[in-house]
Structure 1
Amino acid sequence: KPIDDEDLERPTDKRMFVLAAALKAGYTIDRLYELTKIDRWFLEKMRNITAYYTLLEDLDQTKLSHDILLRAKQIGFSDKQIARAVKSTELAVRKQRQESNIRPFVKQIDTVAAEWPATTNYLYLTYNGNSHDLSFPGGYTMVIGSGVYRIGSSVEFDWCAVGCLRELRRLNRKTIMVNYNPETVSTDYDMCDRLYFEEISFEVVMDIYDLENPEGVILS
């Protein structure tokens, strides 16, 4: 489908995808700035992403080296996106990534602007690190949240997770919450022992599961 400049000029929820298509089609940063008025710094970052995806599309999985795969993960591509680019499957890419020992590191979200070492239980996964910020003693129960609010789902779905966490605490069980909506009770700092602000996807949930080795998993 040809790029329509009006789709670039008009800010909508689809413009990001049109912008990516325009970059792949050869639009310059200056031209995109004229059309979108998006800061050139952000446009350059988007060009880096689309350029790397184009590189991946020129490969098949047998040509996916350790360095190329690691860089793709550091840029932010999911296993599923990499698989789509190299014409493979998410599970095959995940298997290769694990065999290459490319795994995410767990970091604490710094809520004190680096004034002193962060000690919060707010956690996230990253491939741009070389060590974990905490250890993994096991013995936790992992609760999977309902993710972002959508039309048709609201507070009652989050309350399922909250009720689960409270009951586990009453039973003296250590808890892990995986959720990524900061406007929910389940993501309050005092609701659980460890809180991962991460998307609810197969890749992310399994990466956390492999690291934490919980005693059980509950879908809220």
Structure 2
Amino acid sequence: LNLARALHEAGAPIWGTSYDTINLAEDRKQFNALMEKLEIPQPDGGTALTRDEALAIANQIGYPVLIRPSYVLGGRGMEIVFDDAALINWIDTNIEWNGHPVLIDRFLDDAFEVDVDALCDGEMVTVGGIMEQIEEAGIHSGDSACVLPPYKITRYHLEIIREYTERIGLALNVKGAFNIQFAIRDEVVYVLEVNPRASRTLPFVSKATGVPLASYAAQIATGKTLVDLNFLTEPVVDGNFIKEVVLPFQKFPGVDARLSPEMRSTGEVMGHASTFGHAYAKAQMAANSPLPQSGNVFISVNDNDKTAVLKIAHDLHQLGFTLTATAGTASALSAAGLPVTVVNKVSDGSPNIVDSVRAGEMALIINTPRGGKAHEDGSLIRGTAIAYGVPIITTLTGAMAAVQGIRSLRLKPLRVRSLQAHHAIT
């Protein structure tokens, strides 16, 4: 982003998407005006150049809000904050007021998030792929597993997403690849951000579809059209492709494994199968976190998740797993008629859950942090799990996907074939 500005100001020719388009997509006021003109919904938001402005905007929108610096990549510095004190702490820690605004948006809790990669030649748009994030809203797309094609989004919402993608690409006059992040909540499709460039998901979509999207984007930048390339329709995806992230926590002992709006992953892997469960299981194997087939599952979730986790716990019990939980979660599971063993929190003294992990007694951990800041116990549990190689899941949507993967492995063994064979490439 900053390089494009320097090249533009130096008079260097920029092939493909222009600097003006790159800047418009990042300049919040210009972008908001364009979305309003196109009648495409966005979460309520604003930009602030001072601490007082940030507080005023957050209180006008209503907490929780998503806050981040502008002109950064990878969600660097991005955070969900829940009150004035947390907002002030974030600003004092992350911001040096230098003319670049801070971006503040309403956080769409319980939303489905969707990534779209597409190509535009200035005259028409072709969608390359629509991916549904498996992790819940608030997890950076670069740290979230995703599935292509989407598995929970209705055809109605998919058509809206395709329409919005075409309108935005043409309005921005993109010349090459672009990526849009959407969120669906209460039947409304919101646009979260637009990146007029190739995204990290482009290679994944290309491998899943067999279409060389990066090559096409480069050729469009040199002047070719989608008609010239004969890429006029969205590719049909055969089977289920799961993109999973590789996280660096094992190499950084003591770092909290909690996922957040700030990207932490250092790589990505892919699993493919005819069913979602088998594809997810393959992706976990590739990410060096294979799903267990038996043993003890430790569950500790925040109060907001205690109802939703009951179905997950019931399914794990039906699959033959033994349930273990700290007192609060165990009470909810017992009330639902599930057998559960209570284990001490770290703060309650030994023997506790960390001792159990170190003793090799846990096959899987489901631990959802509360709010925007992890409790000290939760952080220690997650750090110990990483250190001892115990698979850990920090979102309920990820836990649901894991249950599907475990069930699929029980029903049918995995089969393997290459992408070349799948796409009949010789």
TM-score (normalizing by structure 2): 0.26
Of structures 1 and 2, the one scoring higher in RCO (CA 8 A, sep 6+) is 1
Higher-helix-fraction structure: 1
Rg larger for:
2
